[in-house]
């Protein structure tokens, strides 16, 4: 069980692990805070990307010895493997740390084993973490963990719909279906993914920038890679933001494989109904976010393209995991629905 100082330290470790200057993949984001016997912070550190010091080593390097009996609070199990840097578990043992609090076990079979190594060295290891902090630690590296398990990026599809399921009016106009709050949330969502993907048709028709912007129009510090999937001609994406990648294929598996090989671990689909349908038919959507507007069109383009479903028995069911109202300054309230395709 964690005391107040340890809970504060874990919150801080999660905060620094999520530093917007740190790339989202292919390495995990990790934070570490060192405490003395009285719960005072000795040092903190975090991983800054491939080839840089791990969080534990970063914190140890910033702390003044001796550290005998100190507590290390880390967001991910200290590693045991030798790569570009040495094993973090061994570094903690060598420093004389007496207690290690771990928010999440490492799912990487190459790196796991730090808990056992620390305990074998006589160090007290605490894994009993408050539910909210454990959830935050899990969310911190969703894409990275998904990549370890599935060998492809995590895919989140985002669509905006009217109550009658329309994404655009009969004349093709679609700005703006949702209110300001929902639109601003989309830009925030882009900062949590390392890739935004649209189809070539959307690129040709809308000339999207696919940048992550604040409410005042300025760019967020973290910008996603911007990918366009399809063949034929499509215009280059505007410069001045994240890298732009053309994916010359109509195959969603091939597109994800190329992004994964580039070290990208979380893809946000923001294309039109056709792109969403392509990924849904291929069973490659892991999460669906729907911004549902309290308005009706009665006609126009549907939000999802043809899924090849001809009978109700073959419908694609989803599990609703969250419903959140999004209220704009003008008083308009949209709903954000978060869903996952049902697997059983």
**Catalytic positions, written as ranges:** 56
Tokens of 249: 């294929």
- With beta carbons less than 8 A apart as the criterion, state whether 214 and 285 touch: no
Dig out the tokens for 336 from the structure.
């954000």
Cα gap 191→220, rounded to integer Å: 7
Among positive and negative, which fits the CA dihedral 257, 341, 223, 233?
A: positive
Per the CB < 8 A criterion, the answer to whether 282 and 157 are in contact is: no
Cβ within 8 Å of residue 328, ≥6 positions away: 179, 180, 181, 182, 334
Q: Of 226, 224, 222, nearest to 236 (Cα)?
A: 226
Tell me the DSSP string of 205-268: HH------B-TTSPBPSS--EEEEE-SS--PPPPSSSS-EEEE--S-HHHHHHHHHHTT--EEE
3-state SS class at 108: coil
Can you tell me the distance from the alpha carbon of 99 to that of 2, in angstroms, rounded to the nearest whole number?
Answer: 11
**Which position has the token pair 């799912």?**
107
- Please, are residues 323 and 336 in contact by the beta-carbon 8 Å criterion? yes
Going by the DSSP 8-state scheme, the letter that residue 54 receives in this structure is P
Query: Distance of alpha carbon 186 from its chain centroid, rounded?
Result: 13
Q: Are 130 and 2 a contacting pair, CB within 8 Å?
A: yes
């Amino acid at each position: 069980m964690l005391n107040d100082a340890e809970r504060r330290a874990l919150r801080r470790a999660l905060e620094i692990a999520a530093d917007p200057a740190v790339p989202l993949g292919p390495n995990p984001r990790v934070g570490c805070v060192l405490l003395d016997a009285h719960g005072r912070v000795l040092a903190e550190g975090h991983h800054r990307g491939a080839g840089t010091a791990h969080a534990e080593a970063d914190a140890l390097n910033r702390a003044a010895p001796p550290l005998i009996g100190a507590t290390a609070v880390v967001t991910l199990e200290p590693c045991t493997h030798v790569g570009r840097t040495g094993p973090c578990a061994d570094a903690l043992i060598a420093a004389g740390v007496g207690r290690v609090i771990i928010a999440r076990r490492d799912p990487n079979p190459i790196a796991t084993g730090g808990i056992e190594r620390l305990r074998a060295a006589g160090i007290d290891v605490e894994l009993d973490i408050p539910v909210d902090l454990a959830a935050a630690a899990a969310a911190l590296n969703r894409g990275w963990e998904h990549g370890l398990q599935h060998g492809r990026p995590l895919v989140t599809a985002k669509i905006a719909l009217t109550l009658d399921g329309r994404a655009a009016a009969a004349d093709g106009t679609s700005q703006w279906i949702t209110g300001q709050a929902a639109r601003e949330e989309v830009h925030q969502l882009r900062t949590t993914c390392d890739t935004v993907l649209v189809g070539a048709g959307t690129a040709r028709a809308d000339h999207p920038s696919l940048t992550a912007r604040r409410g005042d129009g300025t760019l967020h510090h973290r910008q996603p890679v911007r990918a366009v999937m399809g063949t034929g001609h499509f215009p280059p994406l505007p410069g001045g933001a994240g890298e732009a990648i053309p994916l010359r294929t109509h195959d969603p598996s091939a597109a994800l494989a190329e992004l994964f090989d580039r070290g990208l671990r979380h893809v946000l689909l923001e294309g039109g109904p056709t792109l969403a349908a392509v990924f849904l038919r291929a069973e490659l959507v892991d999460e669906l976010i729907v911004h549902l507007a309290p308005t009706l069109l009665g006609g126009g383009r549907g939000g999802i393209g043809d899924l090849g479903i001809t009978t109700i028995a073959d419908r694609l069911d989803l599990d609703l995991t969250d419903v959140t109202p999004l209220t704009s300054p003008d008083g308009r309230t949209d709903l954000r629905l978060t869903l996952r395709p049902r697997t059983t």
